[in-house]
Amino acid sequence: QNRQGTAYEGFLTAQGRDFHIRILLPVDHQLKNARIECSWDLKKILHGYQHILKQRLHSCPDLVSFLVELKTVMEIALKNTPELHIPRPPEYYSCLVRDIEILGWNKVAYVDTGLTTVKLKAEDSCGRQHLITLKLNAKYPTDPPDCLVDFPVQFAVSWMPQNSLIDIYNQFLAALESLKEFWAAMDEIDGNTWVLEPENPTRSATTRRIAIGTNVSVNIEVDPRHPTMFPECYFLGADHEVNPLRTKLNNNMHLWDPEISLLQNLKDILEVDFPSRAVLEKSDFTKDCGICYAYRLDGAIPDHVCDEPRCGQPFHQACLYEWLQGLPSSRQSFNVIFGECPYCNK
């Protein structure tokens, strides 16, 4: 702004917002003694970052590099600044409190201090506990709340402006009843077999990987709407272990009976007894990866097994891929790599 090159004025953009900034340098152009002027809202955002800015003024060689640093600090400060809360109209609070009282406070599991998030608890006819989280916007009850549930299917609320929380709660209860057979089938599997994945199944999880023997397992995908129908199955393990199971599945598929439980059907069709939680420990049929000597690696378990019957050592896919890539004898075809077993060299 002046011939001495000591006054600069303009805009910096951070998080999609433009901020007006003025920088005044002393006559000797020393950055460490520079003065920064800005609008009150940017000053508020940068409150708590002054020491970092002073440090940057001391260490930056020129004004351009300081502005790059300032922009980075602004990006971080804006990300960490909570949005200004717009107060909701008094009718919102009176309406919400009235709705909760009609529903009953005993059904409320949690309410946040701003009365914008409400968690309601319910029990299905089988005694299972469930939660529904309601995120209310300022236009409630004209606009419906956002509903978050731990369901394997989508939960869509039908809402009219004259509706209240009790209508959502009743729809929630009806949805729980429609899913009780699915949860009963999954609970039976979780309680009577060793489920390798997911480690802690949520109510929305439709897959289970069930241990059959040492390093042999079956992955099932259950349809939550028709839990007694034949599920999608695929086997994991060495070929000599998996092929007989695949044959039994194909030969016995016609015996599937929707009148009996999912677990009993799987036992009958595969002609196996799944390892019982009462008799065996998980360590009895889970072996660590032969390369990293760990069982879990970034959430994955060893599911690539050597097909040599006398070896049968499992590996993590990531470990095996890295190992084989390092061997000069390995060959790769597109995204598949072929090589020798790290254990038995087959």
Using one digit for the tens of pLDDT, what is the confidence trace for 3-59? 988 999 999 998 888 899 999 999 888 888 899 999 888 888 888 888 898 888 899
* β-bridge mates for residue 24, sequence order: 7, 35
Domains and CATH numbers, the chain: 7-84 (no CATH), 90-179 (3.10.110.10), 193-285 (3.10.110.20), 287-345 (3.30.40.10)
Lowest mean pLDDT among 177-181, 255-259, 270-274, 302-306: 302-306
Answer whether residue 85 shows pLDDT above 60.
no
Residue 139: pLDDT band with limits 50, 70, 90: confident
- Residue 283, pLDDT > 70, answer no
DSSP-based three-state secondary structure for 185: helix
Contact status, residue 194 vs residue 139, Cβ threshold 8 Å: no
- Token couple for 39: 């609008």
Q: Which of 240, 340, 222 is nearest to 290 (CA)?
A: 340
% of residues, the chain, pLDDT over 70:
96
Confidence check: pLDDT of 81 > 80 = no
Tell me the DSSP string of 126-149.
T--EEEEEEE--TTTTTSPPEEEE
Mean pLDDT for all residues in the chain: 89
DSSP state for residue 95 in the 8-state scheme: H
**Percentage of residues of the chain with pLDDT beyond 90:** 51
With CA atoms as reference, report the closest residue to 178 among 142, 238, 125. Answer: 125
Tokens of 20: 């007006």
Taking alpha carbons only, the member of 266, 285, 147 closest to residue 208 is 266
pTM: 0.64
| pLDDT (0 to 100) of residue 151 | 96
Angle of helix 165-178 versus helix 90-103 axis, rounded to 10: 50
Q: What is the pLDDT of residue 86?
A: 61
Residue for token digits 């460490």?
A: 32
Q: Which residue has the tokens 């809202």?
A: 41
> Do the beta carbons of residue 189 and residue 207 sit within 8 Å?
no
Would you state the pLDDT for residue 113?
86
269: CB partners within 8 A, 6+ apart = 248, 249, 252, 253, 255, 256
Q: Which are the contacts of 217, defined by CB distance < 8 A and separation ≥ 6?
A: 196, 209, 210, 211, 235, 236, 237, 303
As a whole number of angstroms, the longest Cα–Cα distance in the chain is: 92
